[in-house]
Structure formats: C-alpha cells, structure tokens
Amino acid sequence: MEKITSLAKRRGFVYQSSEIYGGQNGAWDYGPLGVELKNRIAGAWWKEMTRLHDNIVGLDAAILMHPRTWEASGHVENFTDPLVDCKKCKSRFRADQIPQENLAAKKCPDCGGELTDTRKFNLMFKTHIGPAEDTASIIYLRPETAQGIYVNYKNIIQSNRMKIPFGIAQIGKAFRNEIVTKNFIFRTCEFEQMEMQYFVKPGTDEEWFSEWRKQRWAYYEKLGVKMDHLRWHQHGPDELAHYAKDAYDIEYLFPMGWRELEGVHNRTDYDLGRHTQFSGKDLQYIDQDNNNERYIPYIIETSAGLTRSLLMVFCDAYDEEKVADKGNEDDWRTVLRFHPDLAPVTVAILPLMKKDGLAELAQDIRSELKEDYATDYDQAGAIGRRYRRQDEAGTPFCVTVDYQSKEDGTVTLRFRDSMEQVRVPKAELASRIRQEIKAYKRIK
C-alpha cells in the first residue's frame, strides 16, 4: 500500500487534505490525474447503469435532507459502531475490528493497556442549519445517497411515467464519522458513492436480486479487473443490516486483504414503508396495467463506493515489470494498466526533439486529437524516460513525432502494455486509437 500511496501522491492522483496544516484525517484531495480517473470511473458506472438500461434514470439529490429522513431510515437509532478506547495509549478502536480475546480481557492490542467499556457511537455528522444552535436546527450530512432516491421515488414515477420494475441511479458525496480511517482512501469520512435502487414487485425480489448480482459481476469483468481478485461474501445473520432480507458484498483483494468494494442488498419494503409511516404520505405504487393493484415496492440496491473503486482500480492496475531493454538487464518500470476507457490521459504526444519543427508538428497533432481524447504533451528529456512517465500515469498510447514524420506524415504509436510500436499515418491516428480501445483486452 505504501508504494500505491506514494505513486498516487507523486503523480498527482491523490493528496492529503490540508497538508500544509499537518493534514486532515479522513479526507483526501484528488489531483489532476485523480479527478480525471474518478470522473472516468463515475462515467463508466453511469453509462452502465443508465444509458445501457432503458428503465433506469438518474438523480442528483441534495446532501442536506430533512432530519426526519434519518429517523425514518433508522440511522439516528441504528447507524452506530461499537467504540473502545485505550486508557493508556489513547488509541481508539472499533470493537468489532480487534481480536475478541483483547476485547474480553479489555486489553489494548497496541500497548496492552486497559480498554474502556464498549459504547455505541453514531457515525452521522451532525451540524446546525441557520444561526441558532438548538435542537430544532439540527441537520445531518447524509451518510448514504440512497435516502435521497427513496424520498424522490414518487416524483420520478410521476414526472417520468416509470413502471415497475425500474431503477434510479445516483452518484454523490456521503459522510461518515468513521472511528478508524486507515488504508489510504479505503475508508474516509468524506467519500462518494454510486448507488442504484431498483424498485420491484414483492415476490419478484429474489429473482431481481440474483439478476443484479450477475450484472454487477459482469460490469467488473468488462472493466478488465483481475477477476481472481474479486469474490462474493454473503452476509451472515449477524452481519445483515436491520432492513435487509439478503445481502452480498463484492470483495476485492486489496494490498491489506479482502475488503468490501460494493454491496448488493435486498432492502425489502423497509425503506418506503418507514418513509410512509414517518411522512404520512402514501408511497404505494399503483399498477395501472394490473387493475390498479397497490403495493409498496421492494428495493434491490447496488451500492458501490466511487472513491473506494478508485483505490481498487489503482491497485488493480499497478504493476512493476522488468524490462531488460537496451542491454540493461536490470531495468524496471512501474506501469498502471488502466483500461483505456478509465485512464486519465488516453494519448500522450511526444516530439523526439524540440527543434526542427517537430514540436510544432506534435502540437498540431495534439490539437487534432484533443476533441476526441484526453491528451498530454511532453517534450522534456530522453524519449525512454518520457515513456516511463506515461507508463506511471497509466497512459495507454503514446505518439512519437520524429524526422520521418515530417517527410512521410507517419508517426510512431506506442502501446503501454506491450511496449510495441507501429508506424501510423497521422491522419489515421484518431480512428486507430478508437479501434484499439474497442478491441482492448488486458494482457497482464
């Protein structure tokens, strides 16, 4: 994980928040390459969930919601983690994440000091809206994006004439006052989620649950993720959330071990039932194609972390490869093997020399490619070093402009993964790159 963290910082993917003040725990900033990568992952998910499904629409709900939302959802009462402190070293732990024998003996796993009793700690960030800091002005930063979807489900049925089964997708920030935030951006207090809630008729929920499990698995396959680094974990009776009938996590083998990446949950009619009760509004679906049958839909949820997906994509892409070229037997390169659809920069244009008009020619080529692709331009240093810099940024294609380019209008197209190079007429570059992206298969 150290290598991942330091590459992410060095190349401008992720920085510590407020670093000049010593950093802010649980918060991270996404730099120039990081924001591009994050946007691409969000874009891939959005396309998959909305454009490729005729019956799923999007939503962008506010972070601040009426506080009754969180009473109805059960978060005020139940969204807690068990917390213990060490009286000696002052370390703080989640009681469910330290060895049971330490908990039973009240012994700190770090220093052996005495642990406090376990107490419940609510993870919601609470603040006040308006000038008065009293109980009437309490408001929460949403701890999940899902509730914004539930409270809008009727609006969306009405405005978009949706018929069950249908889904609502949303990407947005969520906040949790996590007790322990370690492992880089894996668990943070401010993060982003990509959630899709699928509304179905009761009785068809199990079928849709297994369908969504299939679809979410296939999505990662499509993104070129190492499939032997993914597995399912079914929640046992002790793990199931209060609202869930069945729940599976997709876990990824991160450098610190198998951890949750995404959850697929059968949330039953719990959420809409509770919002009916707390709001006093009738949230039943009226099935006009079926004698106006009324029911509260069941909800199948697919819930993935966007920032956690970025960490997954980064870890999955990270590779160190021995490249014994030019007679140097011990030459290594660090390469990020991002899927070309996710790579922050798709194509880098590199003039072999700055002089003799090569830089100008390279800039012209860049201008042409800009409309279709995220480009970078680098004219500093030896060409081999420039390739390595692009490998480290995960750029799948490099275009080198040399003296021959001036004569016959061809350029070198270099592939990140195989390091192979081919000569291509510059007029064909954009379409060749498009073909290569379509045909992309991960080779390592």
The single residue among 260, 368, 372, 417 that binds ligand ATP, judged by CB under 6 A, is 260
Phi/psi of residue 64, nearest 5 degrees? -85, 125
> Which residue, 308 or 388, is less far from ligand ATP as judged by CB?
308
> Which residue, 308 or 386, is less far from ligand ATP as judged by CB?
308
Calculate the alpha carbon distances from 321 to 325, 330, 412 in Å.
12, 10, 22
CB of 104 to ligand ATP, least distance (A): 23
The single residue among 268, 307, 346, 412 that binds ligand ATP, judged by CB under 6 A, is 307
CB of 101 to ligand ATP, least distance (A): 22
345-374 binders of ligand ATP (CB under 6 A): none
Tokens standing for residue 65: 């919601």
Q: Which residue is nearest to ligand ATP (CB)?
A: 305
Q: Rule CB under 6 A: is residue 176 a binding residue for ligand ATP?
A: yes
Q: Rule CB under 6 A: is residue 297 a binding residue for ligand ATP?
A: no
Strand boundaries in 270-427, DSSP class E = 285-287, 293-295, 298-305, 318-322, 332-336, 347-351, 375-377, 397-401, 410-415, 421-425
Handedness of CA 369, 40, 6, 315 (dihedral sign): negative
Unique residue bearing structure tokens 């012994």: 107
Cβ density class 375-406: b for 16+ within 10 Å, e for less? bbebbeeebeebbbbbbbbbbbbbbbbbeebe
The piece of 35-43, 64-72, 301-309, 337-345 that touches ligand ATP (CB under 6 A) is: 301-309
CB of 276 to ligand ATP, least distance (A): 23
Asked if residue 143 has a cis previous peptide bond (ω within 30° of 0), the answer is: no
Q: Could you give the string, one character per residue 177-216, with x where binding to ligand ATP holds by CB under 6 A and - elsewhere?
A: -x--------xx--x-x-----------------------
| CA geometry: angle 110, 116, 121, nearest 5 deg | 100
The single residue among 263, 297, 340, 351 that binds ligand ATP, judged by CB under 6 A, is 263
The piece of 103-111, 159-167, 258-266, 367-375 that touches ligand ATP (CB under 6 A) is: 258-266
What's the CA gap between 3 and 140, in Å, rounded?
36
> Which residue, 146 or 365, is less far from ligand ATP as judged by CB?
146
**Which residues are 305's β-sheet partners?**
193
The single residue among 84, 103, 261, 348 that binds ligand ATP, judged by CB under 6 A, is 261
**Which residues are 138's β-sheet partners?**
128
Q: Rule CB under 6 A: is residue 313 a binding residue for ligand ATP?
A: no
Unique residue bearing structure tokens 């275009």: 399
**SS3 state at 202:** coil
The single residue among 267, 308, 337, 386 that binds ligand ATP, judged by CB under 6 A, is 308
**SS3 state at 247:** strand
CB of 26 to ligand ATP, least distance (A): 8
The piece of 3-11, 254-262, 267-275, 405-413 that touches ligand ATP (CB under 6 A) is: 254-262
43-62 binders of ligand ATP (CB under 6 A): none
Question: Which residue ranges make up the site for ligand ATP (CB under 6 A)?
Answer: 144, 176, 178, 187-188, 191, 193, 260-263, 303-305, 307-308
